[in-house]
Amino acid sequence: MEQTHLILQERYVIQTVLGRGGFATTYLAEDTRSGHSVAIKCLSFEHIDEWKTWELAEREAKVLKHLHHPQIPDYIDFFTREHSDQLEVYLVQEFVEGKNLAQWVKEGRHFSETEVVRIALSLAGVLEYLQHRSPPIIHRDIKPSNIILTYDNRPYLIDFGAVRDQLLSERTRLMGGVTIVGTYGYMPLEQFEGRPVPNSDIFSLGMTLIYLLSHREPADIDKKGLKLNFRPVVHISAGFARILDKMIEPDHTRRYPSATALKRDLENLQQRRVPYIPVGTPKFWLPVLGVILLFLVLMVRPDRPPVAPEDTPSTSNITRQSSRSTENTPAPEYKPTIPEGNPVVKGQLRFDGQPVHRLTSAIPRFWFRNEDSGKAYTANAVYLGESQFAIYDLPAGRFGISVNIDANPANPSSYPGDFRAWEVFQVTEQRPLYLEIDLQQIIRLLAPQDNDRVLKGWGAVCDNEVVITSPVTFRWESLGEGVYYDYAIQLIGCPYESKRSIAGETTPRTTLELNLPPNAANEFYLLTLYARKNGRRIGMLMTHGANGYGWDYRFRVR
C-alpha cells in the first residue's frame, strides 16, 4: 500500500509514510474515533516468501496486545485487507512523537552523563517489565534507532521484532536450524550464536548508551580482547563507567543478571551527591576534592532549608480569541475533597509543554473506560489544583482517561477554546503510576462555517452535509506564533468509503482557498485539521451537529 490519505476500517486515515524496512512499511495515521495519531505497520505478502508468516504475524499481535507499559507504544488494532490481489496485514499502535536516538545524534545533539543515566534508568524499567513476564520477553534488537526519545526527553522502546522472532524460533525448533536476530555491534556473543538470554538486552542497552556518549558505532571503537574499550572515547564519571563495564560484559554470567539489579545501581549513582570525577582523573586531584567535600559539608547547615526553584515563566504565545482571559482575574478558591487512602495514579495536565493552569483556571472533568471490556468505568478522580490530579479506586488493568476542560465560558463544553485529551494507561499492583497528559485545544473554524455553535446541515453520515460553492475558502483562528497546521481533504463515497485524497499539507497559514470539483449525489468531502508546535500536537478541529460530534468537517460542493 503506497497511497496516503486512505481510510482503513472506516477509522484510520493514512497521512504519511514514517519508514520502510525489510518487508514492512510504517505509516502515520489518524484514528478518527479518538482523534489521536497512530502508527500503522503494513506487512505485505508481496515481499514474503511463505504464507506461514501470516499465522506468525497474527500470533505476534496477540502477544503485543498483552504488553502494557507507559514506555511501550500501546497495541490498538490488528486487521487484514485485500489489495491488488495481495493480502496485507496491519498492526496499529500508539504513535509516539519524537525522534529515535540515532536521529538525535546525527542531528548533532550531545547528551550529558545526567541525561544518559536518566535514559538508562527509564529503559531499565521497561526491561524489568519484560523480564517479569511469564515467560520473559527478550527484545533482541535494542539499538539507537529502536528507541524514540520524545521532545520532553521520555524514551520509548519500539519495534518488537523480539516477540515476532520468539514465535519464529518456535518454528525453528520444529523445523531445525538456528535463527539469529539482532544488529551487529549491539548484539552480544550468545545472541550471535543463536542462544539469547534475558540479560542479552542489557548488553544491547549498554552499547546504545556508549553510542549516545561517544557518537560512534560500537564497531568503530577499539576492543581489548572481546570487550569494548570505550573509556578513551567518552567523558563520564568513574561510577557510570563501572556500570557500563558490567552491562557490556561479553560473558553473560558476569553481566548484570537482571534489569532490577541494573536499576538499583543506576538509582544509587543518581542519588549520590559527590563531585564529578571524570574517568582517568589523576590521583593528585583526590586531596583537593577531599577539601572541597569538607567545605560543602560545612556549608550545608541543618537549619538552612532547601531553596525551591522558581517557576519557569510561560513562553507560550497561544492566542485564544474565543477563550476566557485569566489576565488580572483572580482564580476562585478551589478546595478539592481528598478521599482516604493512597491514589493509584498521580499526574499533571500540560498544554504546549507547560502546566495548563497557567492558561486557564477552569476545573477539568474526567471520564474513564476499561480498555479490556470497552465499557465506561467509574473512578474517583480528584483535581488537586495547579495542573495536578490523582485517581483513586482503580483496580489493576488497562484504562483510558478522557480529560475535558471547559476553558471558554462563552460556549458549551468541548467547543473552540476548550481543552481535551485522551490517554491510555496501565494500572499495576506494584507501585503508583505517574501520568503527564498532553492536552489539545479545539480549533475554531471561521469559514465556511463557524464551529463555535451547532452546525446546520451536519447530520448522519451521507445525509444533509452543507453545500458550498467552489472555490471554497477555509479559515480558522490562529493558535499562536510558531504553530503549523496539518490539513487533509478526502473524497468520501457513501456509506463511508474513502475514494481518494484531494488535498493535504502542513502549513503555517490559517486560510486556504481551494477549487474543488462538484460532488456526485453519493459523495461528500471531509476535512481534518490539526495544529503542531515544536513537535507537539496542540490543537484539533472538532464539530458539533444535530447528530452528535466529530473530529472532522463534512461538506458538499456544487
The answer to whether 326 and 359 have CB atoms below 8 angstroms apart is yes
How many whole angstroms separate alpha carbon 536 and alpha carbon 437? Answer: 12
Distance CA 534, CA 530 (A): 14
- What sign for the dihedral angle of Cα 99, 442, 76, 491? negative
The dihedrals phi and psi of 274, each to the nearest 5 degrees, come to: -110, 155
User: How many degrees, rounded to 5, is the angle at CA 90 between CA 69 and CA 186?
Assistant: 55
Q: In 3D, which of 538, 158, 147 has the Cα closest to residue 320? A: 538
Looking up cell 486515515, which residue turns up?
13
Helix, coil or strand: residue 157: strand
* C-alpha dihedral, 201 to 205 to 211 to 213, nearest 10°: -160
Q: Is 123 helix (H, G, I), strand (E, B) or coil?
A: helix
Strand partners, 422: 402
Q: Euclidean distance between the first and final Cα of the chain, in Å?
A: 32
Counting every residue written for the chain, the total comes to: 558
Contact (Cβ atoms closer than 8 angstroms) between residue 224 and residue 256: no
Beta strands in 494-534 (DSSP E): 497-507, 511-514, 523-533
Does 159 participate in catalysis according to the annotation? no
Number of H helices, E strands in the chain: 9, 32
The partner residues of 39 in beta bridges, in order of sequence, read 28, 93
DSSP annotation of 551: S
Between the alpha carbon of residue 352 and those of residues 106, 129, 152, 316, 415, the distances in Å are: 26, 30, 11, 7, 19
Cα–Cα distance measured from residue 536 to residue 150, given in angstroms and rounded to the nearest whole number: 9
Q: Residue 19 and residue 96: Cα distance in Å, rounded?
A: 14
> In this structure, how many other beta carbons lie within 10 angstroms of the beta carbon of residue 194?
13
Question: What CA–CA distance (Å, rounded) separates 344 from 394?
Answer: 7
Q: Which of 31, 74, 141, 165 is catalytic?
A: 141
- The residues, any chain, with a CB within 8 Å of residue 112's CB and separated by 6 or more, are none
User: Would you state the cell numbers that stand for residue 162, as one nine-digit string?
Assistant: 523480539
Place of cell 549498554: 206
Q: Number of C-alpha atoms within 13 angstroms, CB side, residue 414?
A: 15
Q: Which residues are catalytic?
A: 141
